[in-house]
Each structure stands twice: as structure tokens, then as C-alpha cells.
Chain A
Amino acid sequence: MKNYIKKVIIVCLFLSGIVHGQSTEQPETKETVTVKSFSLKSTEGNLVSLNDYKGKFVVVHIATTWCPYCNAEAPYLEEIYNEYKDKNVEVLIIDVKEPSALVKERIKDRFNLSFPVLLDTNGKVAASFAPKDVLPELARDEIMLASNLLIDPQGKIQFMSLLDTKNFDVKLINLKNRLNEIL
């Protein structure tokens, strides 16, 4: 009987993973991360891969249309793009779990962004950046909103900021300082 219950629990564990779509893959800490390449569709319908940016610095911002902090930072991401595009720096926004038309209207067009806004429809790419020591009790895809990463030409993370509303760096001064340091 005990063995039988064990078997049932194992099957249920397996099923619950499927039903709730939770990845068991552990994200790496930022110190060890070489970012895995990803391919996502943009709001314009183009497939954009991190590999397309080989040899460049890439700023990645994780967002949703309803995230007030993300929306506050968006104009400053455009500012960074314009200021650093001639210095081998690209900018990408990865929107999490929202439909293309909504993201196009509320992020890409609203802030008149010149760089691609990508659609992470199941949140797995955004989740893959999450350091494992940040609020581990919550689902991984809830970790990274309003975060900024700077990925270097070797694919290593050179800067990562998690949301900090008490010391909110809306103008992305820390990210700019890091860019100025390494460029």
C-alpha cells in the first residue's frame, strides 16, 4: 500500500509539472552566467536571436505593459540606445507573457522605441536570467520584471539590476556608469 501511494505521488508530481508548466531547470547565478542564446519574435513579427548580436554589447530590459517601473524606464532605454548605438551597444526589451498587439501599442509605439521589443510568450527566457537566490519561494517568471542586464560580446553578464523601488534608478544611471566603465 505504501509503495502504491509513493507511485501515485510520483505520477502526480510529474503531472503537476506538466499542468503548471514549471521548469525544473535551475538558473545560474549572475557571477557564473554565460547567457544562453534565445530566439524570440519581435512585435514586428521578426525572429530575433541573441546570436544576431554576436560581438556587441546588449542591454536587455525585462518588462510587461502593466509594470509601472518598466514604463518609467522605457524612455531612458531609448535614450541609452541613441547615446550608445555608435559604440557597439544594442538594446532589447523582452516583454513577458503578453500578446503582440498590446505590447506594440503600449510599449513599442507609445514610447516610440527604435530598438526591437521581443515577445517572451511563456516567460521562459526571462526566467532563465533570474538569479536563484532572489525570492526563491516565488515562480521564476515573476522575478525579473523591470530588471536590466548588460551582456558583453562574449555573452557574459556585466551588469544586472533588479527592481529597487526605494532607490529607483529611473534614469538608469547605474547602467550608464557601467557602460561608460567598460566601453
Chain B
Amino acid sequence: MKFYSIVLCFLFLAISGHTQQFVEFNGAKISKALKKQEVDIILSFKIAERYHIQSELESLDGSIATKIAFDDNDSFEIISNEFTFKQNQVIVLNQYAHNVLTDEFEVTVRLKLNKKTLNFKNLLKGILSYQACTDKQCLFPRDLDFKIQNIL
């Protein structure tokens, strides 16, 4: 009986402690292998309706730029990542241009595969860190975990 109590408690705490997210990971597209064992993976993200997040560009207004970080993986090296978006808004606050993203955006990640690795870990894991606002409020920064299996 005690076991079930503990399980119930943990389940409840896990649910009630869940941080509300305003960006959703929409999966990935993998481009065909490039030269020199390089591969491009395009990660798609969707920003919740009514919300915007800070752009990936550092700003002089002190806002927290959206960042993406990847877990280490011996099987490949991350060479670059680049944000692309359909909608980008520029708000001028005092003299500073302030860039925000809305709707959807993608991050293109270029990987260089490591030939020497015997056991290929076919998994790309990472965290998107962002800070969201609506027209009426700004929210504390959040981290969104994502992972893609079978990248090759």
C-alpha cells in the first residue's frame, strides 16, 4: 500500500510542478548528407498564439536572447546552428531595436560525423532557452528540452 501512496504522490507532484511552455518542438527534417560527412538537421519550433519570444540576437536592451544548446555526443560534432523564421518583428524601445519572433521558426544544425566512433549514438538532444511575452506580460525564462532519434 505504501508503494502506491509514494507513486501517487510522485505522479501528482510531477503533474503539478510542470512548467507551462510557450514554445513547442515540432520535430525535425534531415537533409541528405553533405560532403565531408556533414549533415544538416532542421529543427522546427512553434510559438504559442498571442506570444512572442526574444530573437536569437543579443540586444543592448538587456533582454534574454533565445539560445539553443546540444548535449555532447561522441558520434558527431556540431559545426553551426542558424535560426530562420517566417515572422520577425522589430520593436523600438527607447533607442534600441528589439527583435522578437512569433509563430514558427527553424534552427538548422550542421553536424560533422565522427568516423572514429564505433558505436554511433543516433540521438540529438538539446535545450532551447527562451523568454516569452504577450502584449500584456513578460514571463520568466524557460527551457524546452527536445530530442531527435534516428538522425541518420
Footprint of B on A, CB under 8 Å?
4-5, 8-9, 11-13, 15-16, 19-20, 64-69, 71-72, 75, 97, 106, 110, 134-135, 138, 141-143, 145-146, 162-166, 168, 170
Contact = CB atoms under 8 A, between A and B. Distances in A.
Interface in B56-74: 59, 61-64
Nearest to B133: A165
Taking each of B5, B20, B93, B138, which has the highest tally of chain A beta carbons within 10 Å of its own beta carbon?
Answer: B138
A166 B133 CA distance: 12
Contact of A106 (B1, B5, B62): B62
A8 B91 contact: no
Contacts of A15: 9, 13
Which one of B54, B62, B91, B133 has the greatest number of beta carbons of chain A within 10 Å?
A: B62
A174 to B, nearest CB: 15
24 contacts: A4-B1, A12-B12, A12-B13, A16-B16, A64-B138, A66-B62, A66-B63, A66-B131, A68-B54, A68-B61, A69-B133, A69-B138, A71-B62, A72-B61, A134-B136, A134-B137, A138-B137, A142-B139, A163-B133, A163-B135, A163-B138, A164-B136, A165-B91, A165-B135
B13 A135 contact: no
Contacts of B134: 165
Contact of B17 (A11, A16, A170): A16
B98 interface: yes
Contacts of B33: none
A43 to B, nearest CB: 16
B7 to A, nearest CB: 10
B27 interface: no
Q: Secondary structure at chain B's binding surface: helix, strand, loop or mixed?
A: loop
B152 interface: no
B136 A163 contact: yes
